[in-house]
Amino acid sequence: MVYFFPNEVRRREFILALGGAAGMWPLASRAQQADRVRRIGVLVGAGADGLDAQARQGAFLQGLQQLGRTDGRDVRIDTRWGAANTDDIRKYAAELVALAPDVILAAGNAPVERLLQATRTVPIVFVIVIDPVGSGIVDSLSQPGGNATGFMQFEYSLTAKWLELLKQIAPSVTRAAVLRDSTVAAGIGQFSYVRQRCGGRVGQLLPGC
């Protein structure tokens, strides 16, 4: 049975276990199925040879160990590295879903989006994602809905701070342009936040930005 944020398990508790790193399951399930090897899928949009990638992978394994889980003993980890290749990410997403894992950890917008195309039942916890609401990954930040939840790369409120910082550095600035690709869903929520919260206070947004 797959557990995904039932009412008695706070969303934050689940995420913290995967948060930076690993997944956790309800204590009752642990007691009942202590001898069952859990399976975690990991889909990373970047390549495996980067220093950041290796550091994150190390943090993931360390987080599991802190929870009393060891890869190859009571948990099995299947990792796929997309190396920024869209076709490979799509292929690996399908592969991981076919393995029927208990949960999938996804790093980056593309891996999460491909996984959601492949499954609407396997729990997905994401990290390093830009604007999950604007991207259509979750319904809202407070109520993600569906089978995906996780961490944003940064909160929308920070985008407002960028313009405020610009105004502090260059007080004479009265107009600010925002350059973005309107065909890319990621960033819609951030841009809306800039319009709503900063347009009148820190400068003027150019029409059509």
Which of 26-35, 100-109, 139-148, 166-175 shows the lowest mean pLDDT across its residues? 26-35
The residue with greater pLDDT, 122 or 181, is: 122
pLDDT band at 155 (very low <50, low <70, confident <90, very high): confident
pLDDT more than 70, % of the chain: 75
pLDDT band at 164 (very low <50, low <70, confident <90, very high): confident
The residue with greater pLDDT, 176 or 14, is: 176
State how far the Cα of 64 lies from the Cα of 18, in Å rounded to an integer: 8
Residue 64, pLDDT > 80, answer yes
Question: Residue 68 — φ and ψ, nearest 5°?
Answer: 85, 20
Residue 204, pLDDT > 80, answer no
List residues bridging with 39 in a β-sheet: 76
Residue 100, pLDDT > 80, answer yes
pLDDT at 85: 95
Residue 75, pLDDT > 90, answer yes
Model pTM? 0.70
The three state secondary structure string of the chain is CCCCCCCCCCHHHHHHHHCCCCCCCCHHHHHHCCCCCEEEEEEECCCCCCHHHHHHHHHHHHHHHHCCCCECCCEEEEEEECCCCHHHHHHHHHHHHHCCCCEEEEECHHHHHHHHHHCCCCCEEEEEECCCCCCCCCCCCCCCCCCEEEEECCCCHHHHHHHHHHHHHCCCCCEECCCCCCCCCCCHHHHHHHHHHHCCCCCEECCCC
What is the residue-averaged pLDDT of the chain?
78
Which of 21-35, 43-57, 124-138 shows the lowest mean pLDDT across its residues? 21-35
